[in-house]
Amino acid sequence: MTKKVATKTKKAKTPATKTVKAVKAVKEPKTAKSHMHDIATRTIHVGGEPDKETGAIMPPIYQTSTYVQESPGVHKGYEYTRSHNPTRTRLEECLASLEQAKHCIVTASGLSAEMLIMHLLPAGSNIICGDDVYGGTYRLFTTVFQNMHNFKFIDTTNPKEVEKAVKAFKPALIWLETPTNPLLKITDIQAVTAIAKKAKALTVVDNTFMSPYFQNPLILGADIALHSMTKYLNGHSDAVGGAMMMNDSEMYRKLWVLQNSIGPCHSPFDSWLVLRGLKTLAVRMEAHAKNAMVVAEYLEKHPKVERVVYPGLKSHPQHAIAQKQMLGYGGMITFFLKGDIKKSMTFLKGVKLFALAESLGGVESLIEHPAIMTHASVPKKVRESIGLTDNLIRLSVGIEHVQDLIEDLEQAFKTV
């Protein structure tokens, strides 16, 4: 069993839901009922109610672009699938419940959710962002949005540094990934959100690596929890999507208007796939974390490995913070192979069970080389300045039998 820490976040209390007058088309989710049970139960039952018309235990896929209206403007709450779709509504209800949030908006991809948040801020806003984030996030901020906002990338693991940067830069938003991709650095969410609140800045936490099963940023003070649903939430590497959960109804309304106006909507079929994947989130996350701990301990003892980074290892520089704010340590491992890029290449070609592929969080184990693959859009100089070197290998540990995974790594080490 994964060690359960931060138990106060385990069982949700129904938040005092204040119903706000939202734009007519914005649906308020059914929050009250959504927070009653343990998360393992909520993954299955919130948004998973049997179909009212037929009793079908699995939700229908409303594969429709539009909805017939009785007379102009008189409809059942659904007008057009870019705006709303009943399958997507179920998914949003479930996800809001998992992050113990009032609201959720799902989008076509994790990056499109990030794009909507960028549009939430007035042009010319200052944004502090962690210096180690997914390569696509870095690319989005430093290419697409660099003309709209001002970004400052800093190491957010030291709250004192964050405080200094906040005083000097006066950000409207602090963007955190914790644990980071791929260095697995951990930021104290409570400490940083307290600094942000004092400075009247918003905080977004990209919670993709933990999933709501292991970490709940909103409870720790964040304004938005963001996920690439493509990863653990869906869990089966067969759909792409993004999700944002929040409690502020006005912010939700604005983000919904942006999603509806810009249009990166999640397809009904993909929403259905994620709803299905979510049902096993609890057992999958436990299995990922259990396997990852065994693999991390194996790697830490390996003579061909220079260093292993896994939040569950005592050697992790922020292990204490991980214990404090996470309910488990997740399935992602980063390690540095002894030797140069040639050795890394040989190793990556040597694995047989681990698939060499970008992405993470699926039931199958993946391996990748961030410098060449997921973080190639981060300039080499920047990569090296944060320690993302050419001998860094990232594992997404799946839920196969752990002995098979270790044997696969062992035979690949022998090829180096």
* Catalytic annotation, residues: 82, 134, 206, 231
Compute the least distance from the CB of residue 115 to ligand P1T, in Å: 10
Q: Which of residues 222-251 bind ligand P1T (CB under 6 A)?
A: 228, 230, 240, 242
Task: Please answer whether residues 175 and 206 qualify as being in contact, where contact means their C-beta atoms are separated by less than 8 angstroms.
Answer: yes
Query: What is the Cα–Cα distance from 117 to 240, expressed in whole angstroms?
Result: 18
- CB nearer to ligand P1T: pick between 89 and 208: 208
Query: What is the Cα–Cα distance from 98 to 209, expressed in whole angstroms?
Result: 15
- Binding piece for ligand P1T, criterion CB under 6 A, among 57-65, 104-112, 210-218, 294-302: 104-112
Residue 232 Cα distances to 163, 300, 332, 350, angstroms:
32, 25, 11, 26
362 in contact with ligand P1T (CB under 6 A): no
- CB nearer to ligand P1T: pick between 99 and 177: 177
Compute the least distance from the CB of residue 402 to ligand P1T, in Å: 22
Cite the beta strand spans of 101-145 per DSSP E.
Answer: 103-107, 126-130
Report which DSSP code applies to 70: S
By beta carbon distance, the residue nearest ligand P1T is: 110
Query: What is the Cα–Cα distance from 236 to 359, expressed in whole angstroms?
Result: 11
177 in contact with ligand P1T (CB under 6 A): yes
Residue 254 CB partners (closer than 8 Å, separation 6+): 120
Query: What is the Cα–Cα distance from 78 to 64, expressed in whole angstroms?
Result: 11
Amino acid at 26: V
Exactly one of 97, 109, 211, 215 binds ligand P1T (CB under 6 A); which one? 109
Exactly one of 86, 130, 136, 330 binds ligand P1T (CB under 6 A); which one? 136
CA nearest neighbour of 212 among 94, 319, 107: 94
The contact mask relative to ligand P1T for 182-221 (x = CB under 6 A, - = no) is: ------------------------x-x-------------
Exactly one of 78, 134, 153, 169 binds ligand P1T (CB under 6 A); which one? 134
344 in contact with ligand P1T (CB under 6 A): no
Exactly one of 137, 157, 215, 267 binds ligand P1T (CB under 6 A); which one? 137
For residue 332, what is the enclosing H or E element?
A: strand 332-337
Exactly one of 181, 216, 291, 318 binds ligand P1T (CB under 6 A); which one? 181
Walk across the sheet containing 355-356 and list its strands: 305-309, 332-337, 392-396, 366-368, 355-356
The residues of the shown chain that bind ligand P1T, judged by CB under 6 A, are 109-111, 134, 136-137, 177, 181, 206, 208, 228, 230, 240, 242, 358-360, 374
